[in-house]
Amino acid sequence: MGVLGPAKNAQADTVAAGTLGAVLAVGSIAPGVDFLRVAKTRELYRGIKAHYAVSLTVDGRSISRIDGADYTQSPGTINLMQPGQVHRDRQRLAPGTLQLVSFDAALVEQSRLALDHGLHGRLALLQVDARDERVGALRRLHDAILASVTDRFALDVAVADALAAFVSFLGPPAPGATLRPRVRRAREFLLDNLAEKVSLDDLADHAGTDKFHLCREFARELGLPPYAFLTRARIARACILLRRGVPPSEAASLVGFCDQSQMHRHFVRIVGCTPGTYAGERRSINARRSAPPAERLGGRPSVVADEAIRVAK
Asked, for residue 77, whether it belongs to a domain, the answer is: yes
Mean pLDDT of the chain: 80
Res. 293: pLDDT tops 60: no
Q: Are residues 42 and 138 in the same domain?
A: yes
Question: Given a cut of 50, is residue 104 above it in pLDDT?
Answer: yes
The C-alpha atoms of residue 48 and residue 234 are separated, in whole angstroms, by: 10
* Domain co-membership, 219 together with 163: no
CATH number at residue 41: 2.60.120.10
Regarding whether 27 and 112 lie in a shared domain, the answer is yes
Identify whether residues 128 and 22 lie together within a single domain: yes
164 and 235 belong to one structural domain = no
Q: Which tens digit of pLDDT belongs to each residue from 201-229?
A: 999 999 999 999 999 999 888 888 999 99
Q: Is the pLDDT of residue 52 over 80?
A: yes
Domain-embedded: residue 65: yes
Looking at the structure, tell me whether residues 244 and 143 fall in a common domain.
no
Q: Using the predicted structure, report yes or no on whether residue 109 has a pLDDT greater than 50.
A: yes
Q: How confident is the model at residue 167 (pLDDT cuts 50, 70, 90)?
A: very high
CATH number of the domain that 276 lies in? 1.10.10.60
**Do 126 and 234 sit in the same domain of this protein?**
no
In a domain, 308, yes or no: no
Query: In this structure, are 116 and 170 located in the same domain?
Result: yes
| Domain-ending residue, one of 141, 159, 174 | 174
Which of 42-46, 159-163, 274-278 shows the lowest per-residue confidence on average (mean pLDDT)? 42-46
What is the predicted pLDDT for the residue at 297? Answer: 27
pLDDT digits (tens, 9 = 90+) for 72-91: 999 999 999 998 888 888 88
Domain boundary pick from 174, 191, 215: 174
- Do 140 and 236 sit in the same domain of this protein? no
CA separation for the pair 171, 181 (Å, rounded): 15
Lowest model confidence (mean pLDDT) among 6-15, 129-138, 180-189? 6-15
Lowest mean pLDDT among 106-120, 184-198, 214-228, 261-275: 106-120
pLDDT band at 177 (very low <50, low <70, confident <90, very high): low
Q: Does residue 61 belong to any structural domain of this protein?
A: yes
Position 311 in a domain = no
Q: Worst-scoring range by mean pLDDT, 1-15, 74-88, 176-190?
A: 1-15
Residue 309 lies in a domain: no
Least confident of 26-35, 37-46, 169-178, 188-197: 169-178
Asked whether residue 296 is domain-assigned, the answer is: yes
Q: Is the pLDDT of residue 140 over 60?
A: yes
Q: Quick check: 119 pLDDT over 70?
A: no
Q: Which of 255, 311, 250 minimizes the C-alpha distance to 276? A: 250
Q: Which of 47-51, 104-108, 114-118, 249-253 holds the top average pLDDT?
A: 249-253
Question: Which structural domain range is residue 15 located in?
Answer: 8-174
Domain count, the chain: 2
Q: What is the pLDDT of residue 300?
A: 34
Q: How confident is the model over 105-110, as a mean pLDDT?
A: 88
Residue of 233, 303, 241, 282 lying closest to 82 (CA atoms): 233
Residue 311 predicted with pLDDT over 60:
no
Residue 313 maps to a domain: no
Between 287 and 56, name the one with better pLDDT: 56
Please give the pLDDT value at position 176: 54
Q: What is the mean pLDDT of residues 186-203?
A: 92
Q: pTM score, two decimals?
A: 0.72
- Residue 181 φ then ψ, to 5°: -55, -40
Can you give the chain as a three-state secondary structure string? CCCCCCCHHHCCEEEECHHHCCEEEEEEEECCEEEEEEEEECCCEEEECCCEEEEEEEEEEEEEEECCEEEEECCCCEEEECCCCEEEEEEEEEEEEEEEEEECHHHHHHHHHHCCCCCCCCECCCEECCCCCCHHHHHHHHHHHHCCCCCHHHHHHHHHHHHHHHHCCECCCCCCCCCCHHHHHHHHHHHHCCCCCCCHHHHHHHHCCCHHHHHHHHHHHHCCCHHHHHHHHHHHHHHHHHHCCCCHHHHHHHCCCCCHHHHHHHHHHHHCCCHHHHHHHHHHHHHHHCCCHHHCCCCCHHHHCCCCCEECC
Same domain, yes or no: 127 and 106: yes
How many Cα atoms sit within 13 Å of 151 on the Cβ side? 7
The reply to whether 129 and 213 lie within a common domain is no
Q: Which of 174, 204, 234 is the last residue of a domain?
A: 174
- Tell me the pLDDT band of 9, cut-offs 50, 70 and 90: very low
Greater confidence (270 vs 7) lies with: 270
Residue 94 pLDDT: 85
Distance CA 32, CA 262 (A): 29
Looking at the structure, tell me whether residues 147 and 272 fall in a common domain: no
